[in-house]
Amino acid sequence: MRNDFKKFKRIVVKVGTSTLTHGNGQLNLERMERIVRELSDLHNQDKEVLLVSSGAIGTGANRMGLKKVPRTLPEKQALAAIGQGALMHMYEKIFAEYGKTVAQVLLTREDLNERLRYLNATNTFLAILNMNVIPIINENDTVAVDEIKFGDNDMLSTMIAGLVDADLLIILSDVDGLYDQDPRVHKDAQLQSEVYEITDNMEENSANKGIAFSSGGMLTKLKGARVCMTAGIPLVIANSSEINVIRRVIAGEKLGTLFVPREEKMQARKKWIAFGTVPHGKIVVDAGAETALLMKGKSLLASGVVEAKGDFGRGTVVAVISAQGQEIARGMANYSAEEISRIAGKKSADIEKILGEKDYDEVIHRDNLCIKC
């Protein structure tokens, strides 16, 4: 798989706060310059490059002489506003040295929640790339509050990779990749060069936080990796302190951890259902429906529904929950929560009698269903 990287055209690179700053919170200019130089060189090879960069809050805190990030949301948002400008100024300056033009894109989760806005964002990115410009993306921390937050840039970068249908996502971090056990505790921990499946165990072992100014850690990276693997996009997590790390990863060198995606790329529509939006309700299904969905690739019919939870309308993306309470799929519901409550457990042939009309045979059509995403 790594041998294919050389041919890849559209590459998303994510750098975290720990990469961009020194331990004292000041920008690590040497590191920034190296990354910008590598990205510019990729761009010179006619590759399309997108950079997801953290560091706004950290840079803002540093500008204000703070040693750590304050607790209140408005203060953090103010720091992001201060730091984002400073960060972009630095990127502008360094990219310009290599003759590159950059574009700042700030997003909240809400911007991608509706399918139309998601498509809009895709088109904007494609227009920027067509202009031969390098987009630099961050969460719009200044206006984002909890409900509309991506939360961390690991997740943001995987969403961007999905949004632009990237060939490869590289997350640069202060760790070498994924180890089989915590390398800080176990001296014999082994770096995993390739990962084919993310287990719950891996996530449990990675529940540590990153440095003071960033919100990541290995757990958020694994969550992102899960998304990428399902969406069919290879992801490499590598250490940003390796010399020429981006070039070497793309050359196919066994650096960091490669999360090997499943064979086929997910259709754009399913990708949006899976990752573009937050589910706004739940449909609980019985064991028979669970098997039909997971093993046979069938649509969800009313007969297999136990209940609908939440208050959602037709066309809403909802989570499909097994009788054991596990999320097994996400999909776009053809009927509202109230309608589903009335037809739950009933035959499709009875829908018209119960609702007075029947626009669809399925509660969720299999084309609008994303399994285990």
Interaction site with ligand GLU (CB under 6 A): 16-17, 54-58, 80, 138-139, 141, 152-153, 214-216
CB of 54 to ligand GLU, least distance (A): 4
Widest CA span in the chain: 70
Q: What is the 3-state secondary structure (H, E, C) of 138-151?
A: EECCCCCCHHHCCC
CB of 83 to ligand GLU, least distance (A): 7
Quote the tokens at residue 171: 């997350």
Q: Beta strand pairing status for 168-173 and 194-195? A: unpaired
Of 57 and 222, the one with the shorter C-beta distance to ligand GLU is: 57
CB of 341 to ligand GLU, least distance (A): 39
CB 300 within 8 A of CB 346: no
Of 41 and 92, the one with the shorter C-beta distance to ligand GLU is: 92
Q: Is 164 helix (H, G, I), strand (E, B) or coil?
A: coil
Of 47 and 223, the one with the shorter C-beta distance to ligand GLU is: 223
Q: Beta strand pairing status for 362-364 and 300-301? A: antiparallel
Q: Is 298 helix (H, G, I), strand (E, B) or coil?
A: coil
The residue type of 262 is R
CB of 57 to ligand GLU, least distance (A): 3
CB of 350 to ligand GLU, least distance (A): 49
Of 216 and 279, the one with the shorter C-beta distance to ligand GLU is: 216
Quote the tokens at residue 278: 């937050």
Strands (DSSP E) along the chain, which ranges?
Answer: 10-15, 48-53, 102-107, 134-139, 168-173, 194-195, 235-239, 257-259, 282-285, 300-301, 305-309, 317-321, 327-332, 362-364, 369-371
CB 144 within 8 A of CB 107: no
Instruction: Please give the Cα distance from 91 to 101 (Å, whole number).
Output: 10
CB of 60 to ligand GLU, least distance (A): 8
Of 215 and 322, the one with the shorter C-beta distance to ligand GLU is: 215
Of 56 and 329, the one with the shorter C-beta distance to ligand GLU is: 56
Of 75 and 286, the one with the shorter C-beta distance to ligand GLU is: 75
CB of 275 to ligand GLU, least distance (A): 17
